[in-house]
Amino acid sequence: MIRIDVPGREIIEIEHVVLDYNGTIALDGQLIEGAAWRIRELCKSAHVYVLTADTYGTVRSQCDGLGAEVKTFPRANAAECKEEIVRALGGKAACIGNGFNDIKMFDIADLSIAIMDGEGVCAGLIAHSDVLVRSAEEGLDLLLKTDRLRATLRT
């Protein structure tokens, strides 16, 4: 479990880390350099899930050996599929994404991190995010080095 002790707020406990694939931890279907070892490290503290419609057909080969569970879904209704997956986890979830179809899962997450990397970030997602970062590496690092969130989220 990942415990985030933010001054002035309740402790945030994370048992599940949910990662959007394309645009978040992958660009053009290829895992972003530096994401693999971070995901392997996160798997030591939480259950990690990679969610995708697998537009490029590469998610399984790219995520093989990471320890994360890959969940694919049809390209239609992606937002609802992601929300359903996160809701089924029963709470204590951190979600990381960049797209419009991440809004619904962000709304039910205990912690939501928006990534503004190579594909950009949906402007509408920002209002549903707890934190906005410049890259997948920075977003994953927030969960590996939780003291970084103390100043950002404190009241």
Q: What is the pLDDT of residue 19?
A: 98
Determine the average pLDDT of the residues in 115-131: 96
Residue 75 has pLDDT above 90, yes or no: no
Whole-number mean pLDDT of the chain?
A: 95
Rounded distance between C-alpha atoms, residue 33 and residue 39, angstroms = 11
Alpha-carbon dihedral sign for residues 77, 114, 70, 22:
positive
Q: What is the pLDDT of residues 8-17, one digit of tens each?
A: 889 999 999 9
Query: What stretches of 15-146 show up as alpha helix (H) in DSSP?
Result: 35-42, 59-63, 78-88, 103-108, 123-126, 136-144
Yes or no: say if 68 and 39 are a contact pair by the CB < 8 Å rule: yes
Determine the average pLDDT of the residues in 48-56: 94
Residue 106 has pLDDT above 90, yes or no: yes
Q: What is the pLDDT of residue 129?
A: 98
Q: What is the pLDDT of residues 79-104, one digit of tens each?
A: 999 999 999 999 999 999 999 999 99
Q: What is the pLDDT of residue 76?
A: 84
Long-range CB pairs of 71-80 (<8 Å, 24+ gap) are: 78/53, 79/103, 79/104, 79/105, 80/104
Helix (H) or strand (E) holding 34: none
Residue 24 has pLDDT above 80, yes or no: yes
Determine the average pLDDT of the residues in 29-42: 96
Residue 21 has pLDDT above 90, yes or no: yes
Residues 6+ apart with CB under 8 A from 10: none
What band does 78 get if pLDDT is binned at 50, 70 and 90? very high
Q: What is the pLDDT of residues 58-69, one digit of tens each?
A: 999 999 999 999
